[in-house]
Amino acid sequence: MNNILELVNVSKSYPAPDGVEPEMVLDSVSFSVMPGELIAVVGPSGSGKTTLLNIIGLLDEPTAGRVLFNGEDIFQFNDERQSRYRRDNIGIVFQEHNLLKQCTARENVLLGVLASGKIADVDRKRADELLAAVGLERYADYFPGQMSGGQCQRVALARAFMNTPSVILADEPTGSLDSKNAQMVIGLLCQLSSSHGTAIILVTHDMDIAGEMQRRIELKR
Ligand code: ADP
Ligand code: MG
Protein backbone atom coordinates (compact mmCIF):
# COMPACT_ATOMS: atom_id res chain seq x y z
CA MET A 1 0.00 0.00 0.00
CA ASN A 2 1.26 3.47 -0.84
CA ASN A 3 1.41 6.31 1.63
CA ILE A 4 -1.02 9.17 1.09
CA LEU A 5 1.08 11.81 2.74
CA GLU A 6 4.84 12.13 2.94
CA LEU A 7 6.84 14.86 4.62
CA VAL A 8 10.40 15.13 3.36
CA ASN A 9 12.85 17.16 5.44
CA VAL A 10 10.29 19.78 6.36
CA SER A 11 11.86 22.72 8.14
CA LYS A 12 10.29 25.91 9.38
CA SER A 13 11.58 29.07 10.93
CA TYR A 14 9.63 32.29 11.35
CA PRO A 15 11.16 35.64 10.53
CA ALA A 16 12.54 37.21 13.70
CA PRO A 17 12.84 40.91 14.63
CA ASP A 18 16.03 42.70 13.55
CA GLY A 19 19.09 41.42 15.33
CA VAL A 20 17.38 38.27 16.57
CA GLU A 21 18.49 34.94 15.14
CA PRO A 22 15.42 33.18 13.63
CA GLU A 23 14.53 30.11 15.62
CA MET A 24 14.15 26.77 13.86
CA VAL A 25 10.66 25.57 14.81
CA LEU A 26 10.78 22.40 12.70
CA ASP A 27 14.16 20.97 11.76
CA SER A 28 14.08 18.50 8.90
CA VAL A 29 10.97 16.56 9.88
CA SER A 30 10.28 13.49 7.73
CA PHE A 31 7.57 10.89 8.06
CA SER A 32 4.87 9.31 5.97
CA VAL A 33 1.25 8.53 6.59
CA MET A 34 -0.55 5.45 5.30
CA PRO A 35 -4.27 5.51 4.47
CA GLY A 36 -6.35 5.11 7.62
CA GLU A 37 -3.33 5.35 9.91
CA LEU A 38 -3.74 6.80 13.41
CA ILE A 39 -0.80 8.99 14.39
CA ALA A 40 -0.22 10.97 17.57
CA VAL A 41 2.03 14.03 17.52
CA VAL A 42 3.41 14.84 20.95
CA GLY A 43 5.98 17.26 22.30
CA PRO A 44 6.29 20.17 24.71
CA SER A 45 4.45 23.43 24.20
CA GLY A 46 6.20 25.47 21.52
CA SER A 47 7.79 22.44 19.84
CA GLY A 48 6.00 23.12 16.56
CA LYS A 49 3.04 20.73 16.68
CA THR A 50 0.51 23.30 15.47
CA THR A 51 2.98 24.59 12.89
CA LEU A 52 3.34 21.04 11.55
CA LEU A 53 -0.42 20.58 11.18
CA ASN A 54 -0.75 24.03 9.60
CA ILE A 55 1.83 23.08 6.98
CA ILE A 56 0.05 19.82 6.14
CA GLY A 57 -3.26 21.71 5.96
CA LEU A 58 -1.76 24.41 3.71
CA LEU A 59 -2.39 27.09 6.31
CA ASP A 60 1.35 27.81 6.50
CA GLU A 61 4.33 26.94 4.33
CA PRO A 62 7.65 25.31 5.17
CA THR A 63 10.94 27.20 4.87
CA ALA A 64 12.42 24.07 3.28
CA GLY A 65 11.35 20.56 2.43
CA ARG A 66 8.34 19.07 0.71
CA VAL A 67 4.91 17.71 1.58
CA LEU A 68 3.73 15.09 -0.89
CA PHE A 69 0.10 14.09 -1.21
CA ASN A 70 -0.20 10.91 -3.28
CA GLY A 71 3.31 11.65 -4.46
CA GLU A 72 2.70 15.26 -5.51
CA ASP A 73 4.10 18.33 -3.77
CA ILE A 74 1.13 20.27 -2.37
CA PHE A 75 3.13 23.51 -2.42
CA GLN A 76 3.54 23.16 -6.19
CA PHE A 77 -0.24 22.99 -6.72
CA ASN A 78 -1.84 26.05 -8.30
CA ASP A 79 -4.40 27.98 -6.21
CA GLU A 80 -7.33 26.01 -7.53
CA ARG A 81 -5.75 22.64 -6.72
CA GLN A 82 -4.69 23.90 -3.33
CA SER A 83 -8.29 24.85 -2.51
CA ARG A 84 -9.47 21.50 -3.79
CA TYR A 85 -6.86 19.67 -1.68
CA ARG A 86 -7.98 21.58 1.41
CA ARG A 87 -11.66 21.04 0.74
CA ASP A 88 -11.68 17.44 -0.46
CA ASN A 89 -8.76 15.78 1.28
CA ILE A 90 -8.23 17.48 4.61
CA GLY A 91 -10.57 17.70 7.59
CA ILE A 92 -9.63 19.86 10.56
CA VAL A 93 -10.66 19.66 14.20
CA PHE A 94 -9.44 22.38 16.55
CA GLN A 95 -9.18 22.53 20.33
CA GLU A 96 -12.21 24.80 20.42
CA HIS A 97 -15.06 23.47 18.34
CA ASN A 98 -15.29 26.64 16.20
CA LEU A 99 -18.96 26.06 15.36
CA LEU A 100 -20.96 28.99 14.04
CA LYS A 101 -23.33 29.82 16.84
CA GLN A 102 -26.07 31.15 14.58
CA CYS A 103 -26.19 27.81 12.71
CA THR A 104 -27.75 24.54 13.88
CA ALA A 105 -25.71 21.38 14.38
CA ARG A 106 -26.81 20.10 10.95
CA GLU A 107 -26.00 23.42 9.26
CA ASN A 108 -22.58 23.43 10.90
CA VAL A 109 -21.88 19.94 9.55
CA LEU A 110 -22.95 21.16 6.10
CA LEU A 111 -20.74 24.28 6.09
CA GLY A 112 -18.03 22.73 3.93
CA VAL A 113 -20.59 21.68 1.33
CA LEU A 114 -22.17 25.12 1.37
CA ALA A 115 -18.76 26.61 0.60
CA SER A 116 -18.55 24.57 -2.60
CA GLY A 117 -22.09 25.12 -3.90
CA LYS A 118 -25.64 24.08 -3.26
CA ILE A 119 -26.70 21.63 -0.57
CA ALA A 120 -28.54 18.58 -1.94
CA ASP A 121 -30.80 16.11 -0.12
CA VAL A 122 -28.01 13.55 -0.24
CA ASP A 123 -25.79 16.00 1.69
CA ARG A 124 -28.46 16.54 4.35
CA LYS A 125 -28.83 12.79 4.65
CA ARG A 126 -25.08 12.35 5.06
CA ALA A 127 -24.93 15.14 7.66
CA ASP A 128 -27.68 13.42 9.64
CA GLU A 129 -25.89 10.07 9.37
CA LEU A 130 -22.70 11.64 10.69
CA LEU A 131 -24.59 13.31 13.54
CA ALA A 132 -26.09 9.91 14.35
CA ALA A 133 -22.60 8.34 14.21
CA VAL A 134 -21.46 10.76 16.95
CA GLY A 135 -24.61 10.10 18.99
CA LEU A 136 -26.36 13.37 18.23
CA GLU A 137 -29.27 12.37 16.03
CA ARG A 138 -31.64 14.21 18.38
CA TYR A 139 -29.63 17.42 18.20
CA ALA A 140 -29.58 18.18 14.46
CA ASP A 141 -31.71 21.29 14.93
CA TYR A 142 -30.02 22.49 18.12
CA PHE A 143 -27.73 25.52 18.18
CA PRO A 144 -24.23 25.33 19.71
CA GLY A 145 -25.40 27.43 22.66
CA GLN A 146 -27.92 24.70 23.49
CA MET A 147 -25.31 21.94 23.62
CA SER A 148 -22.47 20.99 25.99
CA GLY A 149 -18.80 21.44 25.07
CA GLY A 150 -18.46 17.70 24.44
CA GLN A 151 -21.52 17.67 22.20
CA CYS A 152 -20.23 20.67 20.23
CA GLN A 153 -16.90 18.94 19.72
CA ARG A 154 -18.76 15.88 18.40
CA VAL A 155 -20.56 18.14 15.90
CA ALA A 156 -17.12 19.44 14.89
CA LEU A 157 -16.01 15.82 14.32
CA ALA A 158 -19.03 15.16 12.12
CA ARG A 159 -18.25 18.34 10.19
CA ALA A 160 -14.62 17.31 9.65
CA PHE A 161 -15.75 14.00 8.10
CA MET A 162 -18.47 15.53 5.90
CA ASN A 163 -16.37 15.73 2.72
CA THR A 164 -14.84 12.25 3.32
CA PRO A 165 -11.30 13.60 3.65
CA SER A 166 -8.33 11.25 3.46
CA VAL A 167 -6.65 12.92 6.43
CA ILE A 168 -8.02 14.54 9.57
CA LEU A 169 -5.78 17.03 11.35
CA ALA A 170 -6.81 17.32 14.98
CA ASP A 171 -5.00 19.90 17.13
CA GLU A 172 -5.59 18.99 20.78
CA PRO A 173 -9.26 18.25 20.06
CA THR A 174 -9.87 17.17 23.65
CA GLY A 175 -7.89 19.99 25.26
CA SER A 176 -10.98 21.75 26.59
CA LEU A 177 -12.93 18.63 27.61
CA ASP A 178 -13.07 16.63 30.84
CA SER A 179 -11.60 13.14 30.66
CA LYS A 180 -14.93 11.36 30.14
CA ASN A 181 -15.85 13.56 27.17
CA ALA A 182 -12.27 13.41 25.90
CA GLN A 183 -12.42 9.60 25.86
CA MET A 184 -15.72 9.72 24.01
CA VAL A 185 -14.43 12.13 21.35
CA ILE A 186 -11.28 10.02 20.79
CA GLY A 187 -13.35 6.83 20.60
CA LEU A 188 -15.61 8.40 17.98
CA LEU A 189 -12.65 9.78 16.05
CA CYS A 190 -11.08 6.29 15.85
CA GLN A 191 -14.42 4.73 14.93
CA LEU A 192 -15.09 7.24 12.13
CA SER A 193 -11.53 6.84 10.92
CA SER A 194 -11.89 3.09 10.62
CA SER A 195 -15.30 3.22 8.93
CA HIS A 196 -14.12 5.86 6.40
CA GLY A 197 -10.47 4.77 6.00
CA THR A 198 -9.40 8.24 7.08
CA ALA A 199 -5.90 8.81 8.49
CA ILE A 200 -5.75 10.84 11.69
CA ILE A 201 -2.90 13.09 12.76
CA LEU A 202 -3.70 14.01 16.32
CA VAL A 203 -1.79 16.47 18.48
CA THR A 204 -2.21 15.71 22.14
CA HIS A 205 -0.59 16.28 25.53
CA ASP A 206 -2.38 13.28 26.95
CA MET A 207 -0.16 10.19 26.90
CA ASP A 208 -3.13 7.85 27.39
CA ILE A 209 -4.76 9.30 24.28
CA ALA A 210 -1.47 9.17 22.37
CA GLY A 211 -1.26 5.51 23.38
CA GLU A 212 -4.53 4.79 21.61
CA MET A 213 -3.03 5.81 18.27
CA GLN A 214 -0.98 3.34 16.23
CA ARG A 215 2.15 5.45 16.06
CA ARG A 216 3.67 8.36 17.91
CA ILE A 217 5.75 11.18 16.48
CA GLU A 218 7.60 13.18 19.08
CA LEU A 219 8.76 16.73 18.42
CA LYS A 220 11.58 18.04 20.55
CA ARG A 221 12.28 21.68 21.17
P1 ADP B 1 3.02 23.95 19.68
O2 ADP B 1 1.75 23.79 18.93
O3 ADP B 1 3.85 22.70 19.74
O4 ADP B 1 2.82 24.50 21.05
P5 ADP B 1 3.58 26.03 17.73
O6 ADP B 1 3.68 25.32 16.44
O7 ADP B 1 2.34 26.76 18.01
O8 ADP B 1 3.94 24.99 18.91
O9 ADP B 1 4.77 27.06 17.84
C10 ADP B 1 6.13 26.68 17.73
C11 ADP B 1 7.02 27.89 17.81
O12 ADP B 1 6.80 28.73 16.69
C13 ADP B 1 6.78 28.76 19.04
O14 ADP B 1 8.04 29.12 19.55
C15 ADP B 1 6.07 29.97 18.50
O16 ADP B 1 6.44 31.13 19.20
C17 ADP B 1 6.55 30.05 17.07
N18 ADP B 1 5.51 30.60 16.18
C19 ADP B 1 4.34 30.01 15.88
N20 ADP B 1 3.63 30.75 15.00
C21 ADP B 1 4.38 31.84 14.74
C22 ADP B 1 4.22 33.00 13.90
N23 ADP B 1 3.13 33.15 13.13
N24 ADP B 1 5.21 33.92 13.88
C25 ADP B 1 6.34 33.74 14.62
N26 ADP B 1 6.54 32.69 15.43
C27 ADP B 1 5.58 31.75 15.50
MG1 MG C 1 -0.24 24.06 19.45
pLDDT digits (tens, 9 = 90+) for 125-148: 999 999 999 999 999 999 999 999
Residues 6+ apart with CB under 8 A from 179: none
Give which of 141, 3, 151 is closest to 70, Cα–Cα. Answer: 3
Give the 3-state DSSP-derived string for 97-160, with helices as H, strands as E and coil as C. CCCCCCCCHHHHHCHHHHHCCCCCHHHHHHHHHHHHHCCCHHHCCCCHHHCCHHHHHHHHHHHH
Asked if residue 32 lies in contact with residue 3, where contact means CB atoms within 8 angstroms, the answer is yes
What confidence category does residue 113 fall into, taking pLDDT thresholds of 50, 70 and 90?
A: confident
Pocket-testing residue among 23, 25, 53, ligand 1, by greatest number of atoms within 8 A of Cβ = 25
Q: pTM for the whole thing?
A: 0.94
pLDDT at 165: 96
**10 Å Cβ neighbour count for 204?**
24
Residue 63 in contact with ligand 1 by CB distance below 6 A: no
- What's the DSSP call for residue 57? T
Q: How far is the CA of 94 from the centre of ligand 2 (A)?
A: 10
